[in-house]
């Protein structure tokens, strides 16, 4: 959210008649964005998934998309393409260029989450990727069997894997830093 706030404030400061005497300047805001993005790029260069932040559980997709947007905001405001590649790599991960080959946004791409641990989606939605879907919803990545808060909720429908085989089974290892999805 702070990246969006920086962007909006920078744009407001560009307008004629902007209030003088603010404690922050457009240059200050751009410098702060750049410093944060430089740190994210360094983290991404060392991360096996090329993610620009340290994943500690929860909200993976919103954070990755947020970094991509922040990079785009900076490039727009600074009239540069300095972070265009970084932004693209973050979005590529979310949209399917990842170890699982799946988008983490419902309805985006050919392979996307179709059986989420979301009450409405699980109880009333599709289990095979056909409507009704919770289009645009995001997931953190593949999970299997258990959620971060315990067992799958009572009454949740089991995933009908194509051919009866879980395509994510090869990823069920201790080293995997991301949860695996059903």
pLDDT one-digit tens code per residue, 123-163: 666 666 778 778 888 887 655 544 444 445 666 666 666 67
pTM of the model: 0.75
72 plus 115 within the same structural domain:
no
Separation of alpha carbons 98 and 120, rounded Å = 27
80 plus 108 within the same structural domain:
no
Q: Which helix (H) or strand (E) holds 64?
A: helix 60-78
122 plus 138 within the same structural domain:
yes
Mean pLDDT over the full length of the chain: 78
Contacts of 11 (CB under 8 A, 6+ apart): 77
The dihedral built from the CA positions of residue 23, 27, 29 and 31, taken in this order, carries a sign that is: negative
14 plus 54 within the same structural domain:
yes
Residue span of the structural domain in which 31 resides: 2-94
Q: What is the pLDDT of residue 77?
A: 93
Low-confidence ranges of the chain (pLDDT < 70): 18-19, 56-58, 115-128, 141-162, 166-182
68 plus 51 within the same structural domain:
yes
State how many domains the chain has. Answer: 2
Q: What is the pLDDT of residue 176?
A: 45
Do 181 and 139 form a contact (C-beta atoms < 8 A)? Answer: yes
């Amino acid at each position: 959210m702070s990246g969006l706030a920086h962007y909006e404030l920078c744009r407001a400061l560009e307008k004629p008649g902007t209030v003088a005497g603010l404690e922050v300047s457009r240059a200050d805001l751009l410098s702060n964005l750049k410093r944060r993005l430089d740190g994210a790029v360094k983290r991404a260069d060392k991360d096996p998934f090329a993610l620009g932040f340290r994943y500690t559980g929860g909200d993976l997709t919103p954070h990755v998309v947020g970094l991509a947007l922040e990079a785009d905001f900076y490039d727009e405001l600074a009239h540069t393409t300095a972070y265009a590649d970084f932004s693209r790599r973050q979005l590529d991960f979310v949209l399917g260029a990842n170890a699982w080959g799946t988008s983490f946004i419902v309805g985006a791409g050919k392979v996307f989450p179709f059986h989420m641990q979301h009450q409405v989606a699980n109880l009333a939605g599709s289990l095979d990727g056909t409507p009704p879907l919770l289009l645009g919803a995001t997931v953190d990545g593949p999970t299997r069997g258990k959620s971060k808060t315990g067992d799958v909720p009572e009454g949740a429908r089991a995933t009908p894997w194509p051919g009866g085989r879980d395509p994510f089974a090869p990823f069920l290892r201790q080293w995997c830093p991301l949860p695996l999805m059903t």
